[in-house]
Structure formats: C-alpha cells, structure tokens
Amino acid sequence: MTQEQPQHQEQGKPEHAHPKKPAYDRIYKIILILPLALLIFSFVYMFQFYQENKDFIHKDISLTGGTSITVNGEVDIVRLKDFLNGKLEDFQMKEISDLRTGKKIAIIIETKSSPDEAKKILEEFLGYTLDEKNSSIEFSGESISAGFYKQLQIAMIAAFILMSIVVFFIFRTFVPGFAIILSAFADILMTLVVVDIFGFKVSSAGIIAFLMLIGYSVDSDILLTTRVLKTRGESINARLWSAFKTGMTMTLTSLAAVLVSLFIVSSISDVLQQIFTILTIGLFFDIFNTWITNASILKWYAEKKRLG
Amino acid sequence: MKLGWKIWLLIIVIVLSIVSIRPNFFGKGVLITSVEKNSTASQQGLKQGDLLLTVNGEEISTVDAYGAALEKAFTQEKVDNKTKVIFTTNQKSIILYLEKDPEITVSELPSTRIKTGLDLAGGARALVKTEKPLGAQEMTDLVAITSNRLNVFGLQDIKVSPVTDLSGERYLLVEIAGATPSDIKDLISKQGKFEAKIGNDTVFVGGDEDVTNVCRNDATCAGIESCDQAAEGYFCRFRFAIYLSEKAAQRHANITKNLKVNTSAQGGYLEKSLDLFIDQELVDTLLISSDLKGRATTQISIQGSGSGSTLEDARNDAYASMGKLQTILITGSIPYKLEIVKLDTISPLLGSQFVFYIILAGLASILAVSLIVLIRYRNIKLSLAVLTTSFSEIIIILGLAAFIKWNLDLPSIAGILTVIGTGVDQQIVILDESKLRKEKIGIIERLKRALFIVVATYFTALASLLPLYWAGAGLLRGFAVTTMMGITVGVLITRPAFVEIIRKMEK
C-alpha cells in the first residue's frame, strides 16, 4: 500500500496511465527562477542607472531639446566631424543611405546648439546656403521637450494602469490577472534594460514603441489565460500546449512583420528604425515572459484550483 | 457559393475605401494651389483647383518643370516691359502679359487623395507659446490673425489650431504644407505692431480700423520704383499706396496743422517726418510734403527698400519686404508676445523616397506573415485568406484616413504597420480555435471564445493608446489615431468577415 500517490490519479484522468509525472510538471515551478533572476537583475540595473543618469533612459534631441538638421546629398562625414568638434554643442551624426544602392542620401546632425548657430556653422563647412530645398531643420525648445517627456511618461503609466484595469475586468480573478500584468511589466522592464545597456538614445518615437509593446505583449498572455481558464474537458498541460502553439505562431508572425520592416526602413528613417528595434527586443522577451513567467504562474494557480 | 453579409460588408467597405483613396498615377499637369487676389492671372480667370497643363506650349508635370518653363518664358523679348505667357489649363487657354511672376502657386498632382503629413510631404510646423496664458476668445483671435497673415502672405495650405497638452499648457500649432518662406519665423511670431508716428503722436496703426485698404498686385499703386547699384550690390526701392480711414486721416490733419514748413531745393516739407515703426523698431522715415499740412488726406504712399548682391536678389528682397509690410498693415498686430518653442522646416525631398520604402515594408511584412501562416497550417487557401484580410485592413485604414483628410505622418505610419502585426495575431487565434479540437466542442463555442480573446485584446490595446491622444501637444496623435482606427476596423469588419470566410471554407 503506497502512502504517497501521484496527484493525477486522484482525478482519474486516462492520459496519465503511467505513474511518472510529465517533465513539465516537475520543473514548472523551478523555472520561475529564471524570470525572477532577470527581474532582480533588471531592478538592480535600473536602480544603478537612475543613480548615475537621473533618468530611466538616455534621451535624444526630441526629448532633451535641441536642433536636428538633415542635409540632403552626400557629405564627407569624417571631415564634417572634425570640423564640428568644438564648434557645435554636444553633437551627434547619422547617415541615411538607400537600401538598394547603398548610396548615401543624407546626413543628420543633432546638437544642443540653437538652429541658427548650427545652420551657420554647417553652411560654413558646406559652402552653400541651407534652405528647404536641400535640408530640413527641426528645433525643440528645452522646456517644451522636458514637458513632452514628462507627458509621455504619464501616458506610459496611464496606459499600463488602464490596461491592468481592463485585464482584471475581463478575468475577474486575481492571480491570473496579476500574472498577465507581471508578464507585461517584465517585458517592458527587460526591454528597457537592454536598450540602456546598448546605450541607445531613446526618442519620442521610442517611447511610442514601448507603448506598442504593452499591446503586443498582452495579446499572447490573454490568449494563454483564456485557453487555460476557459477550456473545459482537457488537462492543464494539454491546454498549455495548444495555447503555446497558437501563441508562438502569433509572436512569430509579429516578429516577422517587425523584422522585415526593420530591415527595409532602418537605413532611411531613424524614427522607424528605433520603433522596430525596440519592438523586436520586446517581442523576444515576450516569448520568454509569456511562456515561462506567465505560464508557470498560471499552471500553479490552475493546479491549485483543480481546473484540469 | 453564397457570401454571408459580413463578407459583403467587407467587400463594400473595401470598395468605398479605394474610391476614397482615388488612386491616380498617370495624371498630367500641376495643380494650381493658390492664385493671388487681383493678380493678372486671377483677372484672366485662373482659379485655385485648376489643372495647369502647359506653359507656352510646353507640357509640365512637376513644380520644377513649371519653374523652368516660366524662366524660359521670361527670357523672351518683352513688349512694353511685359512678357507674354500662355497658360493652358483643363478649363481653357489664357494669355497673360506679365511684368513679374504670375503670383500663383502650384504643386504636383497628388497621386492619391491620401494626405501625407509634413514628415513626408515637406513643409513647416511651429508650436507657439504666448507670453501670458490666453482665454478662449483670445486664442480664437490669435488663430484668426495668424491664419490671416499666412493667407495674405500667399500661403494657402495651412492649418492653424490651438492645442493643449496633458499639463494644461496651451499652444498654437501652425502647420504649413509644401514650400515655406525662409522668414516663416518672423511671419508667425512677430507681434507685427505697426505704428506710423509724427514725433510722439501716433497717426495710424496697422489693422483695418485705421487702414481701410492696402494696394497690392496693382502696378499702378504698388511695385518697385527703381533700382540702383550700391557699393556692395544692388538696392531697390518699392512703394505702395494705403488708404486711411476718416478718423486716421483727421488725426493726420490735426497733428500736421501745427507743424512748420521747411523749404529746400527739393520742395517744401514739414519740419517733422512720418516715422514708421514695426514692433517698436524704426523701419523707415517719410518726408511729409508741405501741401499735406492740416489736410485730412486719406491716401498715403508707404516706401521701403530691399537689397541684394545681384539685381535679381535685390528685387526679390524688395518684394519680400513689401509683402511683409503689406501683410502687417492689413492684418494688424498681436497684442502680446509670442515665442516659438518648436519649429520644424522639412524638405520634401526625402519624403518621396520614404514613401516607396514604407510601402515596400508593408507589403513585405504581409508576405512574410502569410508565409509563416502557410508553414504552420499547410493550407494555401488559409494563407491567402490571411493575406487578403490583412491587406484589406490596410486599404480600409488608408481609405478612412483619406476620407477624414487625416495627415499621415511618421507616427501614423508606424501605427499602420503595427496593425498588420496585431491584426494577424487575431486571425491566428480565430484560425486555431476553428481548427483544433474539432471533435470535442462545437465550433460556435470555440469561435465565441476566439471572439472573446479578440475583444479583450481590443480593449486593452485601446486602453494603452488613449493617453497618447493627448500627450505631447497632440503631435503623436497620428499614431494613436491610425492604430485605433485599424484595430476598430479589425474588430468590427475584417475579423467577423474572416470568421465567416473560415466557416465557409470548413464546409
């Protein structure tokens, strides 16, 4: 007479004919260590980052204020850099080239100097006047950019809170709702950490990308949770597995769309390039957080509630 | 095969969208976007919206070609100091005898009715802050004055609107599509306070209370008087007539009647002159002829000058200064200081290349996605269904944008590309629910669950987008709007149609 019986036999399910627990059942709680470790690392990193930089991201001109001048045509970027050193305040340069031919189409110079100053200095180097036919100039005052940034932060937080409310409203149970929100939060946090580690300067477009991530990452989590909680007549693992097949396809298609777009437009628009890069990183983390973090928590909950 | 009403709805909406977009890739000629009032061109019947097909017999299809054709025309022999130019439009043929530029603006024929934002079409955008917070009426007035100024200056494709951002700050947003003058900054932010004083007494100020009419585009009372060569280039003097109201004329009489007359070789002039100030800066001083002493004269000639390194530059500078002065006199001044906190002037050149690559990216994404669907479900018909559904969503969003004349800027486009990704996600959910576990539960039940997921994700996406509508003075609104349009169209039209397509394919 055995004292300890495998728990599935209490429910008498036919597919658990052999007494050994499936591998997933043995490890699903343990693998939660991975996201936990990553989360702790992320928190520590962000804490340090914030101490050093007084902010959560490196910001670019659109968020700090400054001038951005796009000069059409081919410009010798190396000579220009030497020339501008010391003349322009805190400047950065990017090149835009044609995807098909590799030909340089334009060069973007970003600086904290005022647009009039920057224009004059550039005209000195180029030897011709910059007008609307051969260039574009964008200028944002410092205080309005700071205001922008603050509002985008508020928009982020508001979006996240609203999303959480909707999630709880849909599922009406605490643990599953919490798992979804935790997974979405982890996605954004981990993506943020990677973006900071690589030293990207985030623009206002980049913050939009983070907002888009909220939507993208929640999609797969909602699918997972709906399948596990609302499908009847199946074991939990079977539900998880079918959700996995659907969810992975979803994430793979999103990833394909984003990677293709990234490849095609990155050389021609840095705004779109940043959006798609952040989305790519976020989608990879989404795979991790949905199928390890969210799935494990959900299974734990489902087992506890004897759902399958 | 009988198509259900949901599929019919989809088809109808797609057709409506294509009509709304009205693609037209083979049009000839350039669109006349504005004709200066009282100009020779407008007198001959040229109107905004006409299609200009040829200039002096040469076919033109681009703005550059128009410019080149005009230049060529002006090198012809002048008759009576005027050049003969023949314009052929889609309405008629007209002959113009021009002294100078015909004063019309043209733009390339848009190949679709989709309006592209500044990032793609080029133009200028400015965010203006006022030195003191404005009430609602004051803001309306500011919008009116600014629009008026820009219109009077000759800019037609403009949008001036008040915007409030999340922190409650109010700004004036000025958007000008297409070419922008180099002094856009002055045009928008200068208060434009014009005063004409004799000594310390103000005779008249700009605005229609004192100035009833300003002569423009009429060579008999406005134009360049003479040009001379100066030490470093050329120097042209312009003059134009203005008409004062009776009150202002009476003021002039009262102030001048007590002034003494100084007689010199050039004639008799009053001891004090008429000083012209703009924003408290002296711009010109006019001698007052002695026979105007004490007279309530209603016509005054305003003079000024322009300079340049070449004769051409000097003439253009003179015309520009004259234009500015005329504008300020006509529209009056803004009673508080303005500060431009954000100014973008964007060249249209890069834009056209952008568009090509964006379209390429969109198509490639849809293709990549369909490929993955094909690999997963190993069913070409399914893959095609997904492909057409995604494609139709894009067309519908574009049609909607064209219909409401929404400007598609870069954030909007990012939004549309997002919709491709999320749209497909939903379709996959629906596909899986219909394919898997066929035997165990009824298809209605499963599709209901799929729709539940779709609606749930719809509301969470909506929730995360709404705050973006107001953040950042509405500059990022484009993204929120196109994405919301896309997912709403998806939930209401394309996904239900897709569900029905799947069910029909199952049978």
- DSSP string of B197-222? EETTEEEEESSTTTEEEE--S-TTTE
Closest to B421 (Cβ–Cβ): which among A140, A170, A257?
Answer: A257
Closest to B165 (Cβ–Cβ): which among A151, A232, A259?
Answer: A151
Judged by CB atoms closer than 8 Å, whether chains meet at B347 and A70 is answered as: yes
pLDDT at B405 over 70: yes
Residues on chain A touching B410 (C-beta within 8 angstroms):
205, 269, 271-272
Interchain CB contact of A10 with B (< 8 Å): no
Pick the CATH number of B5-23+353-506 from 1.10.260.40, 3.40.50.150, 3.40.50.720, 1.20.1640.10: 1.20.1640.10
**How large is the greatest C-alpha to C-alpha distance in chain B, in angstroms?**
112
Angle at B362 between CA B356 and CA B363, to 5 degrees: 90
How many residue pairs from chains A and B have C-beta atoms closer than 8 A? 231
Residues on chain A touching B440 (C-beta within 8 angstroms):
233-234
Judged by CB atoms closer than 8 Å, whether chains meet at B456 and A226 is answered as: yes
Alpha helices for B89-177 (secondary structure H): 118-121, 136-153
Interchain CB contact of A120 with B (< 8 Å): no
Give the pLDDT confidence of B235-245 residue by residue, as tens digits.
Answer: 888 888 888 88
Mean pLDDT of B12-35: 78
Judged by CB atoms closer than 8 Å, whether chains meet at A205 and B449 is answered as: no
Q: How many CA atoms lie within 13 A of B248 on its CB side?
A: 23
Report the pLDDT value the prediction gives residue B471, as an integer from 0 to 100: 67
Residues on chain A touching B452 (C-beta within 8 angstroms):
226, 230
Phi, psi (rounded to 5 degrees) for B286: -115, 135
Interface of A with B in 176-235 (CB under 8 A): 204-205, 208, 211-212, 214-216, 218-220, 222-223, 226, 230-234
Give the pLDDT confidence of B325-367 residue by residue, as tens digits.
Answer: 787 777 777 767 788 888 888 777 666 677 788 888 888 888 8
More confident residue, A259 or B285: A259
Q: How many CA atoms lie within 13 A of A263 on its CB side?
A: 11
Q: Mutate which of A63, A70, A107, A136 to disrupt the B interface (most B C-beta within 10 Å)?
A: A136
Interface of B with A in 144-203 (CB under 8 A): 165-167, 169, 179-180, 182
Report the pLDDT value the prediction gives residue B266, as an integer from 0 to 100: 66
Interface of B with A in 126-145 (CB under 8 A): 127, 129
Chain A residue with Cα closest to B171: A144
Report the pLDDT value the prediction gives residue B254, as an integer from 0 to 100: 87
Judged by CB atoms closer than 8 Å, whether chains meet at A166 and B424 is answered as: no
Query: How far apart are the two ends of chain A, measured CA to CA in Å?
Result: 26
Domain ranges of chain B: 5-23+353-506, 30-108, 123-190+339-346, 197-332
pLDDT at B479 over 60: yes
DSSP for B370-415, written as a single string: HHHHHHHH--HHHHHHHHHHHHHHHHHHHHHHHHTT-EE-HHHHHH
More confident residue, B323 or A295: A295
Q: What strands lie across the sheet with B274-278, from one edge to the other?
A: B201-205, B194-198, B274-278, B281-286
pLDDT at B397 over 90: no
Would B30-108 and B123-190+339-346 be classified into the same CATH topology? no
Alpha-carbon gap: B158 to the closest alpha carbon of chain A (Å): 17
Confidence of residue B36 (pLDDT cuts 50, 70, 90): low
Please name which of B127, B128, B125, B44 lies closest in space to residue B88, comparing C-alpha atoms.
B44
Judged by CB atoms closer than 8 Å, whether chains meet at B347 and A136 is answered as: yes
Percent composition of chain B: helix, strand, coil (DSSP 3-state, to 5)? 45, 25, 25
Interface of B with A in 397-416 (CB under 8 A): 410-411, 413-414
Confidence of residue B473 (pLDDT cuts 50, 70, 90): low
DSSP for B30-82, written as a single string: EEEEEE-TTSHHHHTT--TTPEEEEETTEE--SHHHHHHHHHHHHTSPPBTTB
Closest to A163 (Cβ–Cβ): which among B349, B463, B483?
Answer: B463
Percent composition of chain A: helix, strand, coil (DSSP 3-state, to 5)? 65, 10, 25
Query: B393, B423 in Cβ contact below 8 A?
Result: yes
pLDDT at B1 over 60: no
In chain B, % of residues over pLDDT 70 = 90
Phi, psi (rounded to 5 degrees) for B164: -120, 140
Interchain CB contact of B422 with A (< 8 Å): yes
What are the residues facing B214 on neighbouring strands? Answer: B242
Can you tell me the ipTM of this complex? 0.77
Residues on chain A touching B421 (C-beta within 8 angstroms):
216, 253-254, 257-258
| pLDDT tens, per residue, chain A with 308 residues | 444 444 444 444 445 455 556 777 878 888 888 999 999 999 999 999 999 988 989 988 888 888 888 888 888 888 888 888 888 877 888 887 777 777 788 888 888 888 888 888 888 888 887 776 778 888 888 888 888 888 888 888 888 898 898 889 888 888 899 999 999 999 999 999 999 999 888 988 888 889 888 888 888 898 899 888 887 777 888 888 888 988 898 888 888 888 888 888 877 777 888 888 999 999 999 999 999 999 999 888 888 887 76
Q: Mutate which of B131, B352, B371, B418 to disrupt the A interface (most A C-beta within 10 Å)?
A: B418
User: What is the pLDDT of chain B when averaged over all its residues?
Assistant: 79
Closest to B369 (Cβ–Cβ): which among A158, A219, A253?
Answer: A253
Lowest mean pLDDT among A194-208, B24-38, B151-165: B24-38
Written as one letter, the residue type at B7 is I
Judged by CB atoms closer than 8 Å, whether chains meet at A159 and B465 is answered as: yes
Residue B53 CA: distances (Å) to CA of A188, A267, B32: 55, 37, 10
Which domains, and CATH codes, for chain A? 19-59+144-304 (1.20.1640.10), 66-140 (3.30.70)
Report the pLDDT value the prediction gives residue B172, as an integer from 0 to 100: 86
CATH number attached to the domain at B30-108:
2.30.42.10
Query: B282, B193 in Cβ contact below 8 A?
Result: no
Judged by CB atoms closer than 8 Å, whether chains meet at B360 and A141 is answered as: no
Residues on chain B touching A208 (C-beta within 8 angstroms):
411, 414, 468, 476, 479
Interchain CB contact of B472 with A (< 8 Å): yes
Q: Which CATH architecture has domain B123-190+339-346?
A: 2-Layer Sandwich (3.30)
Residues 6+ apart with CB under 8 A from A7: none
What are the residues facing B35 on neighbouring strands? Answer: B104
Judged by CB atoms closer than 8 Å, whether chains meet at A223 and B429 is answered as: yes
pLDDT at B165 over 60: yes
Q: Mutate which of B425, B430, B488 to disrupt the A interface (most A C-beta within 10 Å)?
A: B425
Give the pLDDT confidence of B77-118 residue by residue, as tens digits.
Answer: 777 777 888 888 887 888 888 777 777 777 777 667 777 777
